[in-house]
Amino acid sequence: MPSPLASGAATVAEIRTLALVGPAAAGKTSLAEALLHKSGAIGAPGSLERGSTVSDWDPLERRMQHSLNASVMHLQHDGIRLHFIDTPGGPDFVGQSLPALEAVETAAVVINAAVGVEPMAVRMMDYAAERQLDRIIIVNKIDSQGVDLAALLAQIQAAFGKECLPLNLPDDGGNKVVDCFYNREGHSDFGSVDAAHRALVEQVVEVDAAFVDRYLNEGDVDASELHAPLEQALREGHLIPVCFVSARTGAGVGELLDVIAKLLPNPGEGNAPDFLNGEGPDAVLMHAQPDPNAHVLAHVFKVTVDPYVGKMGVIRVHQGTITRDSLLYVGDGRKPFKVGHLFMLQGKDHVEVPRALPGDICAIAKVDEMHFDAVLHDAAEDDHIHLKPLPFPVPVHGLAISPKRRGDEQRMWEIMSKLVDEDPCLKIEHVAVTNETIIYGLGELHLRMLLDRLREVYKFEVDTRPPRIAYRETVTTNAEGHHRHKKQTGGAGQFGEVFLKIEPLPRGTGFEFLDQVKGGTIPYQFIPAVEKGVREVLTIGAIAGYPVVDVRVIVYDGKSHSVDSKEIAFVTAGRKAFMAAIREARPIVLEPIVDVEITAPDSAMGDIAGDLSAKRGQVSGTHNGAAGTMVVKGQAPLSELAGYQSRLNAMTSGQGRYTLALSHYEPVPPNVQQQLMGSFKAKDEE
């Protein structure tokens, strides 16, 4: 079926954008299939079991029967063009879910009626609110046996606020739904439709004093007149609509399409993102306007690197119009590229289109300069245009990898760099002191899928070693360091002398380097060499082989030689002076402390709390989850949670699940620090 963009007939007011987010197994992919089928975009809905869905087209996704990547689709319904994104629900894959929020006006949080409000639903609601997106809650699987939908609505309101009000209500045991925004007649499984209608109207009119007066005087306001205050209520989070559907039976799917077309915002009605031009306090705020005639502003929210097709950037157009002949700049790049082909995505299928308007989501292929989070624009005078960075979780699960075949190190780095380009929550680094390549991800599943992709997509085999914890080193007091590097080997020698001071900085500050040399005792051209030597220590560590953080280095004196002083001498002197200072500054090793959220049967709460306590963790709170479950929140050192899913399975008979997120860094206990330092010395002496 041809893309609805192919005609080029749509206007900005006829475009909607939506991200399906929420926990795994909520039925987001099945709902995407139902929406595509109901709109006529596909002939029949695909099946996860058969591996025939539009969005989960990746071989790994079909084998796992779970979404691992964000997938972009589009459809046309009742004169509107809907771009929507199916996102993975596992906490290990939020690097794919979060960027989707940058591409849409509305975040649709999908909740499994049979399970209730899960931690991932709460996280995505919070993320969407932080980005000032309109939010809608879609309760899926309303036909599940034994569900109490009225109790679930109460649970949703308890979790997210009384502003969560149903736009439609389930009826006939979840076999159909009844509109309660435009309609006030009849009954539902919840009782009177009129009561739900009044609650909606009262919530909407509260944002507009004139409508409040009309409502008080007339007793009601026709819903067809409430478009403007409704959009305002959605923008302000004063109303979070709730819709009921069953993707399996199709109940409520057509009604959901009507809600999207009639009530959800177009690109001119949502909260537009603010772009910044420049860095720091001098950055200039740029308000994107959904004007097709303005200059282009588009954001790259997803990058894919296909082994055969090459790099492709998936973009959301926020301003201006992009055509196949547009000349665009990538960020602060000075050389424009010409858009050769412009694609609309339908899962894995690419449909070429002539143009993209504000609100459209499309893709541009074979532009090497394009990267995740880049902004494309057509104004050469703009220096560095970007969006406020997303709050990605920090990857702290590490795995040492090496190629199975000697000599494949370069190819391994090339492949890993492509995978890191695709996922902002993957990080790769080389640890010089141990000569290890470490890949960091958000969890064990995240890293396992990475290894599967290496093997199945890139046909590349690697050896792995146990996970490496992302420890850090820092100092706790001021100290001074000095080193004189003098080497004479016949002919020109090497000479450089450095005096420096170090000071601890607040946790999370990073690193500062200050040049306070007076009188040219270290010639200015050698100051960068001193900093280079200092930064080498930041990378390889000083006491345990981990990166050094939160320290200020002040170089204040030194000596040079008119003939023998050269860059290598001051690199060496800077490195060794910094090492000497660290050892005098009461250095400590820091370990990552993670927030852990565990959902499990309430009968296992005592075992879970006791296990956390035994692992140097602590419980900070508990609350009721779905029927028969409790949610435990706490903190624990990441190093103590290796293999935690296996322990949790043993305590809960396989019914427990958990999520981790980096909270902060704390000093390790003295015995652990001694162990880490001893291991580092042993390797250093080999």
Pick the more confident residue, 31 or 644.
Answer: 31
Q: Which amino acid is at 647?
A: R
Q: Are 531 and 401 part of one and the same domain?
A: no
pLDDT at residue 447 tops 70: yes
Q: Which residues of 557-566 are buried (b: 16+ CB within 10 A; e: fewer)?
A: bbebeeebbb
- Residue 118's pLDDT band, with cuts at 50, 70 and 90, is confident
Query: Tell me, what's the pLDDT at 682?
Result: 46
Q: Supply the CATH number for residue 637's domain.
A: 3.30.70.240
Structure tokens at 21: 């987010």
pLDDT at residue 9 tops 70: no
**CA nearest 111: which of 229, 206, 18, 245?**
245
Kindly write down the DSSP assignment for every residue of 8-70, as one continuous string: ----GGGEEEEEEES-TTS-HHHHHHHHHHHHTSSSS---TTTT--SS--SHHHHHHTS--S-
Domain-embedded: residue 511:
yes
pLDDT at residue 548 tops 90: yes
Q: Are 168 and 245 part of one and the same domain?
A: yes
CB 626 within 8 A of CB 115: yes
Pick the more confident residue, 685 or 523.
Answer: 523
Q: Can you tell me the mean pLDDT for 121-140?
A: 94
Q: Are 241 and 145 part of one and the same domain?
A: yes
The residue behind tokens 């539009």 is: 54
pLDDT at residue 375 tops 50: yes
SS3 per-residue string spanning 153-215: HHHHHHHHCCCEEECEEEEHHHCEEEECCCCCCCEECCEEHHHHHHHHHHHHHCCCHHHHHHH
Query: Tell me, what's the pLDDT at 617?
Result: 92
**CA nearest 441: which of 392, 390, 507?**
392
Pick the more confident residue, 357 or 599.
Answer: 357
Q: What would the pLDDT profile of 626-640 be if each residue is shown by its tens digit?
A: 667 788 999 999 889
- Residue 686's pLDDT band, with cuts at 50, 70 and 90, is very low
Q: Are 518 and 463 part of one and the same domain?
A: no
Range with the largest mean pLDDT of 38-42, 463-467, 469-473: 38-42
Query: Tell me, what's the pLDDT at 538?
Result: 93
Q: Are 579 and 597 part of one and the same domain?
A: no
Q: What dihedral angle (degrees, nearest 10) is formed by the CA atoms of 239, 626, 49, 17?
A: 10
Q: Can you tell me the mean pLDDT for 374-396?
A: 80
Q: What would the pLDDT profile of 37-93 be if each residue is shown by its tens digit?
A: 999 999 999 888 888 899 988 888 888 888 889 999 999 999 999 999 999 998 889
Q: Supply the CATH number for residue 401's domain.
A: 3.30.70.870
Residues near 385 by Cβ (< 8 Å), separated by ≥ 6?
275, 276, 277, 286, 297, 331, 332, 375, 377
Q: How far is CA 524 from CA 484, 513, 517, 543, 617, in A?
A: 18, 14, 9, 30, 50
Q: Are 553 and 428 part of one and the same domain?
A: no
- 620's enclosing H/E stretch is strand 618-624
Q: Are 445 and 477 part of one and the same domain?
A: no
Q: Are 36 and 165 part of one and the same domain?
A: yes
- Residue 550's pLDDT band, with cuts at 50, 70 and 90, is very high
Compute the distance between CA of residue 189 and CA of residue 178 in angstroms, rounded to an integer. Answer: 10
Q: What would the pLDDT profile of 510-547 be if each residue is shown by its tens digit?
A: 999 999 999 999 999 999 999 999 999 998 889 998 89
pLDDT at residue 307 tops 70: no
- Residue 425's pLDDT band, with cuts at 50, 70 and 90, is very high
Query: Tell me, what's the pLDDT at 472?
Result: 93
Domain-embedded: residue 267:
no
Q: Supply the CATH number for residue 142's domain.
A: 3.40.50.300
Choosing from 367, 387, 407, the residue where a domain stops is 387
Alpha helices in 423-519 (DSSP H): 444-456
Q: Supply the CATH number for residue 491's domain.
A: 3.30.230.10
Domain-embedded: residue 253:
yes
pLDDT at residue 309 tops 70: no
Dihedral sign, Cα of residue 283, residue 285, residue 288, residue 293 = negative
Query: Tell me, what's the pLDDT at 490?
Result: 64
Alpha helices in 111-148 (DSSP H): 119-130
Query: Tell me, what's the pLDDT at 161?
Result: 94
Query: Tell me, what's the pLDDT at 684?
Result: 44
Q: φ and ψ at 522, to 5 degrees?
A: -115, 110
Compute the distance between CA of residue 548 and CA of residue 680 in angstroms, rounded to an integer. Answer: 14
- Residue 308's pLDDT band, with cuts at 50, 70 and 90, is low
Q: Which amino acid is at 492?
A: A
Query: Tell me, what's the pLDDT at 381?
Result: 63
Query: Tell me, what's the pLDDT at 600?
Result: 86
Domain-embedded: residue 460:
yes
Query: Tell me, what's the pLDDT at 50?
Result: 84
pLDDT at residue 680 tops 70: yes
Query: Tell me, what's the pLDDT at 462?
Result: 94
Choosing from 468, 489, 519, the residue where a domain stops is 468
Compute the distance between CA of residue 517 and CA of residue 567 in angstroms, rounded to an integer. Answer: 17
- Residue 683's pLDDT band, with cuts at 50, 70 and 90, is very low
Domain-embedded: residue 392:
no
Least confident of 151-155, 429-433, 602-606: 429-433
pLDDT at residue 681 tops 70: no
Q: Are 557 and 501 part of one and the same domain?
A: yes
Least confident of 37-51, 208-222, 605-619: 208-222
Strand partners, 428: 439
Choosing from 586, 616, 639, the residue where a domain stops is 586
Domain-embedded: residue 232:
no
Pick the more confident residue, 354 or 642.
Answer: 354
Q: Are 605 and 575 part of one and the same domain?
A: no
Helix, strand, coil percentages in the chain from 3-state DSSP, rounded to 5:
30, 30, 40
pLDDT at residue 235 tops 50: yes
Q: Supply the CATH number for residue 283's domain.
A: 2.40.30.10
Query: Tell me, what's the pLDDT at 399?
Result: 87
pTM across the whole model: 0.79
Domain-embedded: residue 98:
yes
pLDDT at residue 506 tops 80: yes
Query: Tell me, what's the pLDDT at 135?
Result: 97
Q: Which residues of 18-43 are buried (b: 16+ CB within 10 A; e: fewer)?
A: bbbbbbbebbbbbbbbbbbbbbebbe
pLDDT at residue 657 tops 90: no
Strand partners, 81: 15, 76
Query: Tell me, what's the pLDDT at 54?
Result: 92
Q: Are 464 and 477 part of one and the same domain?
A: no
When divided into structural domains, the chain yields a total of: 5
Q: Are 312 and 334 part of one and the same domain?
A: yes
Compute the distance between CA of residue 431 and CA of residue 547 in angstroms, rounded to an integer. Answer: 9
Domain region containing 376: 274-387
Domain-embedded: residue 6:
no
**CA nearest 649: which of 662, 658, 640, 661?**
658
CB 266 within 8 A of CB 359: yes
- 485's enclosing H/E stretch is strand 479-487
* ∠ Cα 539 540 544 (to 5°): 125
DSSP-derived 3-state class of residue 149: helix
Mean pLDDT of the chain: 89
pLDDT at residue 402 tops 80: yes
Q: φ and ψ at 18, to 5 degrees?
A: -150, 135
Q: Extract the runs of DSSP E, i.e. beta strands, from 291-404.
A: 297-306, 310-319, 322-323, 327-330, 337-338, 343-346, 349-352, 355-356, 361-365, 375-377, 385-387, 397-403
